[in-house]
Chain A
Amino acid sequence: MTADRLQTYGPTAALLALAAVFAVLSPQFRTLGNLQNLLDAGAVLAVVTIGATYVLLLGCIDLSAAGVMGACALAVSLLVANSRTALDLGPLGVLLVVALGAAFGCLSGALSVGLKVPSFMTTLGVSAIGLGVATVLFAGVQPAVSDPWLLQWASGRWLGFTRVTYLAAAVVVLAWLVQRHTRLGRYATAIGGGEDILRLSGIQVGRYKVGAFTVAGACYGLAAAMVTAQLGSGIVQAGAGLSFAAITAAVVGGTQLAGGRGGIAHSMVGVLILTVLANGLVLIGVSPYVQRAVQGVIVVVAVGATLWPLRHRLEVVK
């Protein structure tokens, strides 16, 4: 029970402690302006992490965010008003790109379920495919976005926050509701808790697995549009490092790799932890490469911490 409680409140406590430490160390960290920066900086990671969380709830893992986001970033920058194509689809372009992301997610899920291949392999493959598609679309010339509507996502502010941040907040709430109150969300959680039991109850598990992967892909598509709005152009590396950062955030927040535990709320605490850490380290003058190293270590530590109470029960770990 204490271990259970630790996993529920531990991440929140860590977040508060981290914020307190940085607030003491850096006067700049304490400003309102920094809070705005912090949330704006965390918006994209939050949306990607939502996607990753749905897949983690199943007990699967999704390494495809980097590739899918690359392809979607290029696609969105070519679909809205831009420097390379004559297209000017505006909001429809963004919708199409979310659908493209969903299609990639659906592919990962279908390959994993249909071919019975572990998800880290299929998503690694799909990530490579996404990067390839991105490179093909890139074709050596970086498309600059000129659609004012999309660009305003990142530039215009309302009550101090960009639209990207509001959008991310809306997605968080929606994703939380879906996870709690829809069949997709509940079954995704249940699959992580005991896939074999669901099969015994005659539930078509594969369908819901593919569904969760599809939701994840859609999140990556939206995140790619958000990144593109922030950068003002479509780049292949739009999602570089985000697959890993999202998994780190989710796991640090208390969503477990084994599936069925945690969820959107937990993962968002993890996103805040990572964002505060990145922001605070910059403010106290630590190299961004050190932050990357820290990220590599904390995911291992976080997974280790969640598995530690179970170490005697797990006989085989691959």
Chain B
Amino acid sequence: MIEVSGLRKAYPGVVALDGVSLQIRPHEVVGLAGENGAGKSTLLKALVGLVRPDSGTIRIRGREVRLRGVAQAATEGIGMVFQEQSLVPNLTAAENILLGCEGSAVRLGLYRWRRLRELAQAQLDKIGSRVDPMARTETLSFAERQMVEIAKVLAIEERTRAQPVVLLDEPTSVLEAEEIETLFGQIERLRKHASVVFVSHRLDEVLQVSDRVYVLRGGQVAGEVDPATAGAAGLHRMMIGAEATGSHYHDDLHRPPERSSVRLSVRGLCGEGFTDISFDLIRGEVVAVAGVHGSGREELCRALFGARAVTAGQVLIDGEAVSLTGPRRAVRAGLGYVPSERKVEGVVSAMSVADNMTLPYTRPQDVEEWIGRLRIKTPDRRTPIGSLSGGNQQKVVLARWLLTGSLRVLLLDHPTRGLDVGAKSEVYRLIRELAAAGVAVLLLADSLEECIALSDRVLVMKEGRVTVTLDTPPGAKPDPVDVVKEMV
């Protein structure tokens, strides 16, 4: 059906796809596994024309195509169910299913609702869904909307008269166990009409539904796995690849935390996405929070910085209660936050290195000193930060919290996302140094490996609660597979 060969896509500073080749055959469910940043999303986007590869070819039914957008991909018979749902909330389910290709349901610009309903019903029938096609989409449950989304993707069948390929990007991440079972049933039905590409970070699910699994790592295909013979552990090892050495994580800089003094104390914190969270961070400790998408760890991290509403609970720093009413209060209390969306939330691209570093402060600061201390590669302090590499931008954000010397707790949300290996190692070194200086660090790591290697403890979050705490001191690190087991 689809043959991808040598696909390559580079963004400034990072290679997302580095010569990916794979095949998708008729009536087949192909699984894609890989860590964050392995290239899964980019690959799917390339297959629906949202990303234009720098080189390499995509052949569909033997014919080479250059996809320029979702609409063109649809005429080639490729449709995608997006991670964030792509339904217009204020339209009916039927309108969403046929959006942009109403065909005989619209004559001379006039809607023929009965015909529209019939056409939509036909799509819903294919997957045996009982959703009312005339219901307004926003009144449907999440699982029902997902059915509508799949029906919408299947409608492309009508346009191509060929068998479609359906790409499912993390379809299970926000579903309940029961809903997941229903979805798997749908995938089995889909197989009669289409080929399916299934992406999930839950390895057991990938193994359960797929006929074949491709493992991606660092933008390349690390291998092809037969689910009948491979287990989750083997799959995971393939995803991580060779174990990184301790020097990459600067283990030599690690100091055991001072057991006696509690820096950050979280008591019964509740908010949208997380419930009743309690834990302590001691001086010099690095605690990683592990959890899948939707576990509530991002929400918790932002709430601790006052950037999300908290409904109950208390946060103390060095024994003093902190008001969580806004980031400014949090900064005053000695908290620092490095957001995951660096370009949007971390830096102000158009402003200089110096301005970015000193943004929250009213008094002038010694910018030059920190450019030197953190080895930030910049022509000078007046250079717009947008022209620096990702790693150096991230160091400026870190410097922002370090330069007053009053930092007590640092919240790191995917601090190494999109950085190359060298830059990552630099950031690890900074984290180690900060911890050694007595700062308590809460880390949402970019990969499981990073999460375990860098931390003294790991808190596992699941459905908004901390379920397990694992000690991860140097020399006694747990197996990643055990941590994954707790996460899902």
User: B88 in the interface, Cβ–Cβ < 8 Å?
Assistant: yes
Assess the B70–A190 pair: CB atoms within 8 A: no
Q: Name the A residues within 8 Å of B90 (CB-CB).
A: 189-190, 192-193, 260-261
Q: B56-91: which residues lie under 8 A (CB-CB) from chain A?
A: 69-72, 74, 86-91
Q: B67-125: which residues lie under 8 A (CB-CB) from chain A?
A: 69-72, 74, 86-91, 95, 99-102, 106, 109-111, 113
**Residue of A at shortest CB range from B100?**
A201
From the candidates A182, A193, A312, name the one contacting B89 in the complex (CB within 8 A): A193
Assess the A200–B86 pair: CB atoms within 8 A: yes
Assess the B86–A197 pair: CB atoms within 8 A: yes
Q: Name the B residues within 8 Å of A190 (CB-CB).
A: 88, 90-91, 95, 99
CB distance from B74 to the nearest CB of A (A): 7
Q: Name the B residues within 8 Å of A181 (CB-CB).
A: 110-111, 113
Known: A182-B109, A201-B99, A202-B100. A193 touches B74 (CB 8 A): no
A131-145 contact mask (Cβ, 8 Å, vs B): 1 or 0:
000000000000000
User: A198 in the interface, Cβ–Cβ < 8 Å?
Assistant: yes
Question: Number of A residues contacting the other chain (C-beta, 8 Å)?
Answer: 19
Assess the A198–B88 pair: CB atoms within 8 A: yes
Q: Name the B residues within 8 Å of A198 (CB-CB).
A: 88, 99-100
Known: A186-B95, A186-B111. A200 touches B70 (CB 8 A): yes
Q: Name the A residues within 8 Å of B71 (CB-CB).
A: 201-202
- A312–B303 Cα distance when bound, in Å, is 12
Q: Name the A residues within 8 Å of B266 (CB-CB).
A: none
Assess the A194–B89 pair: CB atoms within 8 A: yes
Q: Name the A residues within 8 Å of B110 (CB-CB).
A: 181-183
Q: Name the B residues within 8 Å of A192 (CB-CB).
A: 90
Contact residues of B: prevailing secondary structure: loop
A260-299 contact mask (Cβ, 8 Å, vs B): 1 or 0:
1100000000000000000000000000000000000000
- A231–B74 Cα distance when bound, in Å, is 56
Q: Name the A residues within 8 Å of B74 (CB-CB).
A: 202
Question: Number of B residues contacting the other chain (C-beta, 8 Å)?
Answer: 22
User: A184 in the interface, Cβ–Cβ < 8 Å?
Assistant: yes
Assess the A201–B70 pair: CB atoms within 8 A: yes
User: A203 in the interface, Cβ–Cβ < 8 Å?
Assistant: yes
User: B309 in the interface, Cβ–Cβ < 8 Å?
Assistant: yes
Assess the A183–B88 pair: CB atoms within 8 A: no
Q: Name the A residues within 8 Å of B95 (CB-CB).
A: 186, 190
Q: Name the A residues within 8 Å of B69 (CB-CB).
A: 202
Q: Name the A residues within 8 Å of B100 (CB-CB).
A: 198, 201-203
CB distance from A258 to the nearest CB of B (A): 11
**Residue of B at shortest CB range from A313?**
B272
- A201–B96 Cα distance when bound, in Å, is 10
**Residue of B at shortest CB range from A315?**
B307
CB distance from A185 to the nearest CB of B (A): 9
Assess the A193–B91 pair: CB atoms within 8 A: yes
A74-93 contact mask (Cβ, 8 Å, vs B): 1 or 0:
00000000000000000000
CB distance from A72 to the nearest CB of B (A): 26
CB distance from A55 to the nearest CB of B (A): 16
Q: Name the B residues within 8 Å of A202 (CB-CB).
A: 69-72, 74, 100
Most interface-central of B74, B95, B109 (chain A CB within 10 A): B109
**Residue of B at shortest CB range from A185?**
B111
- A201–B102 Cα distance when bound, in Å, is 11
Q: Name the B residues within 8 Å of A182 (CB-CB).
A: 109-111
**Residue of A at shortest CB range from B99?**
A201
Q: B110-152: which residues lie under 8 A (CB-CB) from chain A?
A: 110-111, 113
Assess the A183–B111 pair: CB atoms within 8 A: yes
**Residue of A at shortest CB range from B107?**
A183
Assess the B70–A197 pair: CB atoms within 8 A: no
Assess the B91–A186 pair: CB atoms within 8 A: yes
A164-198 contact mask (Cβ, 8 Å, vs B): 1 or 0:
00000000000000000111101001101110011
From the candidates A183, A189, A200, A312, name the one contacting B309 in the complex (CB within 8 A): A312
CB distance from A318 to the nearest CB of B (A): 15
**Residue of B at shortest CB range from A180?**
B111
From the candidates B87, B89, B106, name the one contacting A183 in the complex (CB within 8 A): B106
Q: B254-313: which residues lie under 8 A (CB-CB) from chain A?
A: 309
**Residue of B at shortest CB range from A191?**
B88
Q: Name the A residues within 8 Å of B111 (CB-CB).
A: 181-183, 186
Q: Name the B residues within 8 Å of A194 (CB-CB).
A: 86-89
Assess the A193–B109 pair: CB atoms within 8 A: no
CB distance from B310 to the nearest CB of A (A): 11
A34-64 contact mask (Cβ, 8 Å, vs B): 1 or 0:
0000000000000000000000000000000
Please report B residues at the A interface, Cβ cutoff 8 Å: 69-72, 74, 86-91, 95, 99-102, 106, 109-111, 113, 309
| 5 residue pairs A–B, Cβ–Cβ below 8 Å | A181-B113, A186-B95, A194-B87, A198-B88, A202-B100
Please report A residues at the B interface, Cβ cutoff 8 Å: 181-184, 186, 189-190, 192-194, 197-198, 200-203, 260-261, 312
Give 3 nearest A-B pairs by CB, closest first.
Answer: A202-B71, A201-B100, A193-B90
> Known contacts A190-B95, A193-B90, A202-B72; can you find 4 more A-B pairs with CB under 8 A?
A186-B95, A201-B99, A203-B99, A260-B89
